Structure 1
Amino acid sequence: MPNIEQFTPTEAYEALREDETAALVDVRSRAEWTFVGLPDLAELGRDTILAEWRQFPGMTPNPSFLDDMTRQMGGTTPQTVLFICRSGARSQDAAIAVSQLMEEAGTPIRCINVAEGFEGDLDGSGKRGGLNGWKAANLPWKQS
């Protein structure tokens, strides 16, 4: 199994700032993007790639995940791809799968998991979004 690097949201944003070719792939569901929000990379001059790892409402695997992702990247995959979900679990799975597929295809890339995700871990009152994660780190995000 590939060794996937783990970045905090702040480390992820800095990596995206420093490497203009790196991409951020949000693997959450369309419902999450719409109702919870998503990372806003406008000040870095690019968009977040939106590709569902599991499809809402049944959370079944998305058979076109890799195609959805690479299509938004213009048909090519950058050398560094960061993956984010709600709290870091789905993005870890996606990073492992993409890393393995790219390695098998003979074009290995650096896959990084945003460990705390967009909303982060549950706090003491059972809510997400305030303890850690992209939003709690006050990184740019938007809601549609």
Structure 2
Amino acid sequence: MTYAGDVTPAEAYAAVTSSEDAVLIDVRTRAEWAYVGVPALDPPHRPVFVEWQRYPDGSINDSFVEDLRSAGVGEGATLYFLCRSGVRSIAAAEAATAAGLGPAYNVLEGFEGPHDASGHRTVSGWKVAGLPWKQG
């Protein structure tokens, strides 16, 4: 494993809301933030939003680490990366670790989690765990 490890959404929420040195970083796209929703945390725990893949073409954000630093993510902070289902966030945690940031954790299940038998994202993830979020 080339990052610090995996945590559940509840573990990430507890860590971020109990420490000013922990940062939740949502690496989904602008479209996902706008139309699906975002974690809703009060200051000073508000999430940082940096796309891992650019919308709309899906290209990898070549300035990801620089964008993190520009958003105020500094050395020594504990980082929790969140995407839709816990895949892009692994790549983001690996990139942050390689750049000397972190420790960096992947949030398992992501914001929406995997599909259920009907093709809906109702199985697990940040939203299903009942953690604070808002839409629109």
Structure 1 residue 142 displacement after superposition:
1.1
Match in the other structure for 2:126: 134
TM-score normalised per structure 2: 0.93
Q: Secondary structure at the match of 1:83?
A: strand
How far off its partner does 1:100 sit?
A: 1.1
Per the alignment, residue 105 of structure 1 pairs with none
Match of 2:13 in 1: 13
Q: Give the partner amino acid of 2:80.
A: L
Q: Which residue pairs with 1:59 in the alignment?
A: 58
How does the TM-score come out when normalised to structure 1? 0.88
* Structure 1 moving runs of 4+ over 4 Å: none
Alignment: residue pair count: 136
Gaps of 5+ in 1: 103-107
**Aligned residues: percent identity?**
43
Whole-Å separation in 2 of the counterparts to 1:29 and 1:14: 24
How far, CA to CA, are the matches of 1:46 and 1:19 in structure 2? 8
What do you get for the CA RMSD once the two structures are aligned?
A: 1.5
Q: Does the CA contact (< 8 Å) of 1:28 and 1:85 recur in 2?
A: yes
Q: CA deviation at 1:78?
A: 4.1
- d(CA) in 2 for partners of 1:109 and 1:80? 5
Which residues of structure 2 form unaligned runs of 5+? none
Which structure has greater helix proportion? 1
